[in-house]
Chains A and B, each alone.
Chain A
Amino acid sequence: MSSEAKYSKGIWSVITASSVGTLIEWYDFYIFGSLATIIAAQFFPEDKGSAALLSTLAIFAAGFIVRPFGALVFGRLGDLVGRKYTFLLTLVLMGGSTFAIGLIPNYKSIGVAAPLLVLLLRLIQGLALGGEYGGAATYVAEHSPAHKRGFYTSWIQTTATLGLFVSLGIILFTRSTMGVEKFNDWGWRIPFLVSSLLVILSIYIRLKMNESPLFSKLKKEGKTSTNPLKESFTKRDNLKMVLLALFGAVMGQGVIWYTGQFYAQSFIENVCKIEFAQSRTILLWAIAFATPFFVVFGALSDRFGRKWIMMLGMLLGIFSYRPIYQHFLDITNEKNKVEIVAERSVERTATLVPNKADSLIKTTTIKHFDDGALFKEVKTDTLYVATGKSAIKPVVKIEKTVGDSNYWTFIVLIFFQILLVTMVYGPIAAFLVELFPTRIRYTSMSLPYHIGNGVFGGLVPFISTLIIEYTKSPENPTGSPLAGLWYPIIVASVCLVIGTLYLTNHIDKNVRDDENDYIHKH
């Protein structure tokens, strides 16, 4: 076998081993978000409604917020003892905490201990993820030749989206196999428990890997950093690059990513009221079509540089989000549709409230529209025996299933948003790796990455939902549904200005310390 063929085989083994583990970590992390509405019902009091969802989103966000701390802890470890063992450890922590979430009894069984345990395990998940990505990206980059670094590291970039894809796939499969009722009752635990099998597989693969050649060389020569944290964040030459990476690239990349994938899903499910399974298959198709573009833009960044591809992705996001989300609202708005009145069905049932004399009146209305859409409204009213009156505010649940044409419109528009994600995210691993020297690379690149993605990006669903809540008033009870987009638009705009003016389009020819010239060019 020629040396080139051996190298090629070697690099693909490195990419596979790194990617599979990282994909599983993302899977573990995302099943929580994908099941937010069910988790809200399981771990919070039943009568909390949107407050429970907001609390779940807050716990979801907590997992993101601690990621920078994971980056510091495990980044330091990775620069001290090596990449391989550090990201083995993060994998075990992630798998263990995900498995444990699947075992926690619900709020009815153990009360407030349930959300507290979920929060604790979610924090461990966040810490583990904070240590994982930097290690995987660094590991692959340190095995890659300069002219293909963007291409090879972009495979790691696909794992985040594929992790979401696998999580949605397993959730939908489990739900359709066992039925909605059983799934909402206890079946939602299965995707969490499945994680343990995936983690064992990944640990087996990763144990076979060797340490990064650049790190091994440094270690052999006794040149590894003795205090990576101090070296990364107290030396001006390095700190200024950490800040530039955060404010000029990762901050904008983070909000574009989380808007395109997570806010889009949350918006079509909670604001547009698209039915559970349909909202998820829309996202699945969009992800399936868009994922190859991570590699396309990663490879293009080797040719044209990283900067302009990322900046273009942010620019398109800034200008397209509001029209796209307005269109989502328009095509699911009943006022814009023609109902086939003859097909309307109304069903009314009355049941007694357990242990009380009051009655629950459930009215289910199903409307069909000429574009193939089907809207289902379930109104639950309580009739109080003592007063002979019904509740002032009945509980109304709306589920919309759109017709074929609008289904594909959703897919195309979410595909476009994920395409923007691939533009900003595909080249970013190579970009970050090239900013920092080997001896402190794991620590230095992990922190801005996880602040940008974990804090700025991870908070997109939470802050956007919060902004919408604040626009609600007695005159406007639904609030302004597009108001939440101002958060990602403003953050991406600031990042675009900083990135355009301050970043160079330079591709570092070699990421070895002694030949790293990027920092010295500034």
Chain B
Amino acid sequence: MNALKRILGIFWLLMGPAVLGFLIFEAVKKNSLPTSTSNDMLQWGIIIGIFVPIAIGLMIFGYYSMKGAYDLED
């Protein structure tokens, strides 16, 4: 189990920037539509602003996991 946690740590570490990248990609895509309004931009700005620190937290979690910080003693 400890080995699996360490391997998954890499996944969580990469998932943080992947989620952010996805949100930024979607925000750019939706805001470049001719029907988009300033309200859309504000909504996406809020969503990205909120999820940046959370994605960083997920990366730190992944890093700790990869380094064995969550390994259980036998």
Partner-B contacts on A (CB < 8 A): 51, 54-55, 58, 61, 65, 236, 239-240, 243-244, 246-247, 451, 455, 459, 463, 466, 470, 497-498, 501-502, 504, 521-522
Contact = CB atoms under 8 A, between A and B. Distances in A.
Nearest to A463: B47
A247 B39 CA distance: 30
A49 to B, nearest CB: 13
Given A236-B64, A522-B72, 11 more contacts: A54-B43, A58-B42, A240-B70, A243-B60, A243-B61, A247-B12, A247-B57, A247-B61, A451-B54, A501-B5, A521-B72
Contacts of B4: 501
28 contacts: A51-B39, A55-B39, A58-B46, A240-B61, A240-B70, A243-B57, A243-B60, A244-B61, A244-B70, A246-B57, A247-B12, A247-B61, A451-B54, A455-B54, A459-B50, A466-B43, A470-B30, A497-B8, A498-B12, A501-B1, A501-B4, A501-B8, A502-B5, A504-B72, A521-B72, A522-B70, A522-B71, A522-B72
A51 B39 CA distance: 9
Nearest to B57: A243
Contacts of B69: 236, 240, 522
B73 A521 contact: yes
B22 to A, nearest CB: 11
Contacts of A521: 72-73
Among B5, B8, B43, B47, max chain A CB count under 10 A is at B43
Among A55, A247, A497, max chain B CB count under 10 A is at A247
B58 A247 contact: yes
Contacts of A51: 39
B65 A502 contact: yes
A236 B69 CA distance: 9
A258 B69 CA distance: 31
B50 to A, nearest CB: 6
Contacts of A243: 57-58, 60-61, 64
B43 A58 contact: yes
Nearest to B11: A497
Contacts of A459: 47, 50
A61 B8 CA distance: 32
Contacts of B64: 236, 240, 243
A243 B5 CA distance: 15
Nearest to B61: A243
Contact of A65 (B5, B42, B46): B46
B31 to A, nearest CB: 12
Contacts of B57: 243, 246-247
Nearest to A454: B50
Minimum-distance CB pairs A-B, first 4:
A243-B61, A240-B64, A240-B69, A502-B70
A445 to B, nearest CB: 16
Interface in B12-31: 12, 30
A237 to B, nearest CB: 9
A232 to B, nearest CB: 13
Contacts of B43: 54, 58, 466
Contacts of A65: 46, 50
Contacts of A244: 61, 70
Interface in B30-53: 30, 39, 42-43, 46-47, 50
Contacts of B46: 58, 61, 65
A244 to B, nearest CB: 7
Nearest to A494: B15
A470 B43 CA distance: 13
B41 to A, nearest CB: 13
B39 A239 contact: no
Nearest to A520: B73
A501 B70 CA distance: 10
A24 B65 CA distance: 40
A361 to B, nearest CB: 29
A223 B20 CA distance: 41
Nearest to A243: B61
A246 B43 CA distance: 24
A499 to B, nearest CB: 12
B7 to A, nearest CB: 11
Contacts of B5: 501-502
Nearest to B60: A243
Nearest to B42: A58
A267 B73 CA distance: 46
Contacts of A451: 54
Contacts of A522: 69-72
Nearest to B1: A501
Contacts of B1: 501
Contacts of B72: 504, 521-522
A367 to B, nearest CB: 34
